[in-house]
Amino acid sequence: MTTDNDFFTLQHDGAIAHLQLNRPERMNTLAPAFFPALRDAVRGLQDDAKTRVLVISSTGKHFSAGMALDVFAPDGPAAQLLDTRSARARLSFQESLRRLIDCLSALDEARFPVICAVQGGCIGGALDIAAACDIRVCSAEAFFTVQEIHIGMMADLGVLQRLAKIVPQGVARQMAYTGERVDARRALECGLVNAVLADAAAALEHAFGLARQIAAKSPLAVAGSKLALNHARDHGTAAALQQLTLLQSAIFDTAEMAEAIAAWKDKREGAFAPLAPVARL
């Protein structure tokens, strides 16, 4: 099945879904409407439970130039959202920002891994998207930048919180304070990406190769691993181990393990049922 909107195309026929930004003529810039569309697409895949891996990619020269600058104009499309002229307006601003942040948290919280394939610039809000993914790969000409500092604002959609848990603190802080471009080589050296490929096509092919490897595993074990890794990232070791004991007791499945072991011995793909759908209230 393929669905389209003003910002991306989503293909989701089997275990691997593909969300591709589709505004190359605008450098795949983002607008406020993009974020709930992304959230709804990701949570729709999660609720359906057929998807085991999501690949995010883009079209054109750049992955995304981030938020379109006209969004910040006094009479722009987000004028009401950005109003901070009074205490009441600031309270509403906080709630609107929380909802925007939640749209990208959908990637982080999804029960399936998300792989991001980047070409060209991954700028501003686009880096927020990439940082919320599980795995990032890029093309040789790719670069990453916390663009917000150049327009006099703090990045505010999660990149500062997530980046410092992906790369060393000093690297994250230098990116945040200077807005410098981190090229593909440096991104690989500091752990921002897992692989650098020759071009956009090779990066996307590599991302799908990873996706196929993951999709062949038990979706129950993969989902549990993501839950455990996320909890360990955000909590101390003792709390993370306590969560692990509860999580493992909830998802331990000897039948699933027996099929995985048999498939491994027989050098074949395992036959695993998808996760149960999530009831939509």
Q: How many CB atoms lie within 10 A of CB 119?
A: 26
pLDDT at position 132 is: 98
pLDDT at position 207 is: 98
Task: Summarize pLDDT for 136-153 with one digit per residue, the tens.
Answer: 999 999 999 999 999 999
Q: Which fold has domain 2-215?
A: 2-enoyl-CoA Hydratase; Chain A, domain 1 (3.90.226)
pLDDT at position 39 is: 98
Q: How many CB atoms lie within 10 A of CB 252?
A: 12
Question: Which stretches of the chain score pLDDT less than 50?
Answer: none
pLDDT at position 81 is: 80
pLDDT at position 72 is: 80
pLDDT at position 4 is: 85
pLDDT at position 70 is: 81
pLDDT at position 274 is: 94
Q: How far apart are the first and last CA of the chain?
A: 23
In sequence order, which ranges of the chain are alpha helices (DSSP H)?
A: 34-48, 87-109, 125-131, 159-163, 169-178, 184-189, 200-215, 219-234, 237-251, 254-266
Q: Which residue has the tokens 């980047």?
A: 118
**Phi–psi pair at 116, nearest 5 degrees:** -110, 125
